[in-house]
Chain A
Amino acid sequence: MTIARVEFSPEQLTEVRRLQGLYPDKRGALLPVLQMAQDTFGYISLEAEAYVAGLFGLSPAHVHEVVTFYTLYFREPKGRHVVAVCHNLSCHLAGAQEILRYLEARLGVRRGETTEDGRITLQAVECLCACEAAPMAQVDDRYELNLTPRKVDRILEGLR
């Protein structure tokens, strides 16, 4: 995904100021604004980091150390959908590795990679705290529970 200009709309800038006003120090709004940047630009490039830094009066380096600290920020283009399979202990006991290997074979990518057509990024992630329904994955905003290869097939069909 290529971005013509890294810049928020006037409405988004109003939202940035509203978020900054919620915190005793406006820097508190940095995480939500970075989320907005990712939703808007597809991922957080160095250019986006510098742009957001400007909105907070921070140095780009301070924003960079935040972006690189958290797992939900993408620093390069991601797929249109993200399939994040939990591989922590309870999911491990319920066959998470089999689900991951099945997905790798179906999608032709390894965990951490994006399909060539840009449709899906596959990830193996730590505990998503839905261990009662292991193995499970987060597919974009949704938790998909009690996964089996058949259920994985159904989920993939719904991802365009």
Chain B
Amino acid sequence: MAETVLMRNFSRTDSHSLAAYRGAGGYAAWEKAKAMEPASITDEVKKSNLRGLGGAGFPTGMKWSFIPKAHTGPVYLVVNADEGEPGTFKDRYLLERDPHALVEGMLITARAIRSALGFVYIRGEYVEPWRRFSAAVKEAYDAGLLGNGFDVVVHRGAGAYICGEETGLLSSLEGKKGWPKIKPPFPAIKGAFGQPTIVNNVETLCCVPPIIARGAAWFAGLGTKTQGGTRMYSVSGRVRKPGVYETSVSITLRQLIELAGGVGGTGRLKAVVPGGGSAAILTADEIDVVMDVDGCKNAGTMIGSAGVIVMDESVSIPEALLVLARFYAHESCGQCTPCRESTGWIEKMVHRIVEGHGRKDDLDTILDVAKRGGGTTICAFYDGAIGPYISYIEKFRPEFEALCPP
């Protein structure tokens, strides 16, 4: 395994406590950042090639620089801890095992974007991560780290996948149903409560203290040409050792599966989801892809949240698609017609195919409906849904056809 950056403290006793974090050199990056100009913090993060690790892969420093320079009112920092992408569990580990890394990342980021108030939106189901993180916030207040120019509000969600979408999250934070908002304006211009807001994922912000402590060049050098650092890959499904693995973003999917003990089940690989449920599926002969943002994009899929789900030869691809089709139909927020209608319709079609009552033209209808809806909705939810619809059917069509009566 490459250098451990994000999980460096996980094996320490009481790694979630302030004492353990300080004992491992924690908050030294914050001391250093306090002596830096906000713009130089942003520059350093830009040069590190850190890209958002929640799903979209947007360059983090560039996002920060979108806050209008002339703005004199409040600026908010919002942490997206609404982890919910199928196959992803890395933020849960960070919140439970190294919550102070997030607090420190928030402090440094808040200085860079001149924010005095941050919100941490934790999914409602994450009770233990919420307790751990809240305890860390309290420790940070007691130690005077928080409350001296930067305050943190911990906010719990109430169960809705769409709130992981950044504008849906902001609607929810404002006490509304989690309907995404049309962009532009982007949150950096008009976000939470109508003010400029930066929304960053937990893992992304946890990269910030090491970048400040050890320098952008070091971080950039850990990764590929267009993405710096390591990241935490969540590996599940049919592998021998499922778990979270931190490694350079230059690793290939083949190497990552080996790292997780190799293919489980029958031992013969059939397919892999490389970046969470919404990523297009890869076949067994497509796994030499480099697991960074651009490597996956070039392979026609996405790294997304780096949730890797492995399927061996015994897995039914139509059944796997039905699970996801049901998920998208359930989680569509209902705001945009193409998404609301298509997710429900496609679930019904995949369902009858799996039940053995598929019609001959169902597969083409699904592909047609999926492709027509792409790019027509307010947020990326539906674009995420069509990744699996299209790729599962196009790459494993005979398996679907075999289920349809002649």
Interface 0/1 of A19-48, CB less than 8 Å to B: 000111101111110110000000000000
**Which of A29, A56, A138 is close to B125, meaning CB atoms less than 8 Å apart?**
A138
At the interface, yes or no: A13 with Cβ under 8 Å from chain B?
Answer: no
Residues of the B chain whose Cβ atoms lie less than 8 Å from the Cβ of A93:
236-238, 309, 311, 315, 320
Segment touching A, from B10-18, B42-50, B106-114, B153-161? B153-161
A35, B277: Cα distance in complex, Å: 29
A22, B315: Cα distance in complex, Å: 49
Give how many A residues have a beta carbon under 8 Å from the other chain's beta carbons. Answer: 39
- 26 A-B residue pairs with Cβ-Cβ distance under 8 Å, sorted by A, are A22-B153, A24-B117, A27-B176, A28-B173, A66-B175, A72-B125, A72-B159, A88-B86, A89-B86, A89-B237, A89-B324, A89-B327, A90-B236, A90-B242, A93-B237, A126-B86, A126-B161, A127-B87, A127-B277, A131-B87, A131-B88, A131-B237, A131-B309, A132-B244, A134-B236, A134-B242
The closest CB in chain B to the CB of A30 belongs to B175
The closest CB in chain B to the CB of A32 belongs to B156
User: In whole Å, how far is B54's beta carbon from the nearest beta carbon of chain A?
Assistant: 13
User: In whole Å, how far is A17's beta carbon from the nearest beta carbon of chain B?
Assistant: 15
Q: Is the CB of A90 within 8 A of B87?
A: yes
Q: Is the CB of B323 within 8 A of A88?
A: yes
A40, B228: Cα distance in complex, Å: 48
The closest CB in chain A to the CB of B310 belongs to A93
A27, B194: Cα distance in complex, Å: 13
At the interface, yes or no: B80 with Cβ under 8 Å from chain A?
Answer: no
Give how many B residues have a beta carbon under 8 Å from the other chain's beta carbons. Answer: 57
Q: Is the CB of A25 within 8 A of B193?
A: yes
At the interface, yes or no: B124 with Cβ under 8 Å from chain A?
Answer: yes
The closest CB in chain B to the CB of A27 belongs to B175
Considering the complex of A and B, which 4 residue pairs feature the smallest CB-CB distances, nearest first?
A30-B175, A71-B159, A131-B236, A70-B158
Residues of the A chain whose Cβ atoms lie less than 8 Å from the Cβ of B155:
28, 31-32
Residues of the B chain whose Cβ atoms lie less than 8 Å from the Cβ of A143:
128
Interface residues of B in 344-391 (CB under 8 A from A): none
Q: Is the CB of A92 within 8 A of B323?
A: yes
Residues of the A chain whose Cβ atoms lie less than 8 Å from the Cβ of B244:
132
